[in-house]
Amino acid sequence: MQKLHLVMGGRVKDPQGHEFADLQHVHLVGVYPDYASAEEAWRANAQRTVDDAEMKYVIVHLHRLLEPHLPHE
């Protein structure tokens, strides 16, 4: 089964949360076929903005949204 992952990031309202301040400026890094490649893209973008506490990059498990009935691994 293909396990798609989305990597995205942007400025958040609270560094401890996931609410983006401006959805028009969210950086959509890309969609990846596995967690390892998504993590590599996430890490590269997160490290690039490490000095800005209000910038956050995340990995979204698209396969869990598309097929919620499947067990989490």
Extract long-range pairs of 52-57: CB within 8 Å, 24+ residues apart. 53/15, 54/11, 54/12, 54/15, 54/21, 55/9, 55/10, 55/11, 55/12, 56/9, 56/10, 56/11, 56/12, 56/15, 56/18, 57/7, 57/8, 57/9, 57/27, 57/29
How confident is the model over 27-66, as pLDDT tens digits? 999 999 999 999 999 999 999 998 998 999 999 999 888 8
Alpha carbons 73 and 71: distance in angstroms, whole number: 6
Confidence of residue 73 (pLDDT cuts 50, 70, 90): low
Structural domains for the chain: 5-66 (3.30.70.2400)
